[in-house]
């Protein structure tokens, strides 16, 4: 295990983060395989379990930065069209249209639909709200993103499409699960192996969109 000496001016927490990065096999693998982040393996593992990318032609990547998930889509389905959005700057990816704006802006959904120019097969959301350390508040902020992503997904998905979103430990709450069940045929929660053991993140995977638009 590689150890980092605590440099003058560097917080202990920063040193621990550096050590974790240096000793993380997914970080090392991402560098070797030219993925922009270790998060790419979360989507790869979810795809292996749920077949998310099978036959997809059009994909939306909400919270695209730094671009690892879109890289996975383009590598697995080279002919796919991908539209991504993020407030953070994201370097160009071949075959991907990137909107540099906040998904929660009022005009963001319309801008995404215009870029799609047709229905989507898959809406992916790796968006995460900035945590404040208060579990209930963090949960509410994360669920707000999941719900906004779901509302958008139901506007753009073709019948049979899928929606995947990051949630926190415990998964989607009861009301959201009920809404997902109303609009999709199967709902699963999953924690891919690439998610760090100490992380509270899970993913909700909703497949088989029923075409319910309200």
166 counts as catalytic: yes
pLDDT-derived band of residue 198, with 50, 70 and 90 as boundaries?
confident
- Which tokens is 149 given? 């992503």
**pLDDT higher than 90, residue 3:** no
Report pLDDT for 22.
52
Q: Is residue 1 located within the same domain as residue 82?
A: no
Average pLDDT over residues 13-34: 69
Q: Is residue 83 located within the same domain as residue 168?
A: yes
Of the ranges 18-22, 49-53, 148-152, 178-182, which one carries the lowest mean pLDDT score? 18-22
Q: Is residue 16 located within the same domain as residue 53?
A: no
Predicted TM-score (pTM) of the model is 0.87
Q: Is residue 18 located within the same domain as residue 69?
A: no
> Is 214 inside any structural domain?
no
Report pLDDT for 20.
56
**pLDDT higher than 70, residue 177:** yes
Strands 184-190, 157-168: parallel, antiparallel or unpaired by DSSP?
A: unpaired
- Long-range pairs of 101-106 with CB within 8 A, sequence gap ≥ 24: 103/62, 103/63, 103/127, 103/145, 103/148, 103/149, 103/152, 104/145, 104/148
Residue numbers of the domain that contains 121? 37-209
Average pLDDT over residues 20-35: 79
Report pLDDT for 28.
87
Q: Which of 42, 166, 183, 191 is catalytic?
A: 166
pLDDT in tens, 56-94: 999 999 999 999 999 999 999 999 999 999 999 999 999
Give the CATH number for residue 46. 3.40.50.150
> Is 81 inside any structural domain?
yes
Q: Is residue 118 located within the same domain as residue 145?
A: yes
- What's the domain count of the chain? 2
Q: Is residue 21 located within the same domain as residue 50?
A: no
């Amino acid at each position: 295990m590689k150890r980092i000496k605590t440099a003058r001016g560097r917080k202990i927490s920063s040193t621990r983060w550096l050590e974790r990065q240096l000793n993380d096999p997914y970080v090392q693998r991402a560098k070797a395989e030219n993925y922009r982040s270790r998060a790419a393996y979360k989507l790869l593992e979810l795809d292996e379990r749920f077949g998310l990318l099978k036959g997809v032609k059009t994909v939306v990547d909400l919270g695209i930065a730094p671009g690892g998930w879109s890289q996975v889509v383009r590598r697995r389905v080279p002919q796919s069209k991908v539209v991504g959005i993020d407030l953070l700057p994201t370097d160009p990816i071949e075959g991907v249209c990137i909107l540099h704006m906040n998904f929660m802006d009022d005009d963001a959904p319309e801008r995404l639909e215009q870029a799609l120019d047709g229905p989507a097969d898959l809406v992916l959301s790796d968006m995460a709200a900035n945590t404040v350390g208060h579990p209930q508040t963090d949960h509410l902020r994360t669920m707000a993103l999941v719900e906004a992503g779901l509302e958008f997904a139901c506007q753009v998905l073709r019948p049979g499409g899928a929606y995947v979103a990051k949630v926190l430990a415990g998964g989607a709450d009861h009301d959201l699960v009920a809404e997902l069940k109303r609009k999709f045929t199967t709902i699963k929660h999953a924690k891919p192996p690439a998610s760090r053991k100490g992380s509270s993140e899970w993913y909700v995977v909703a497949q088989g969109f029923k075409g319910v638009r309200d």
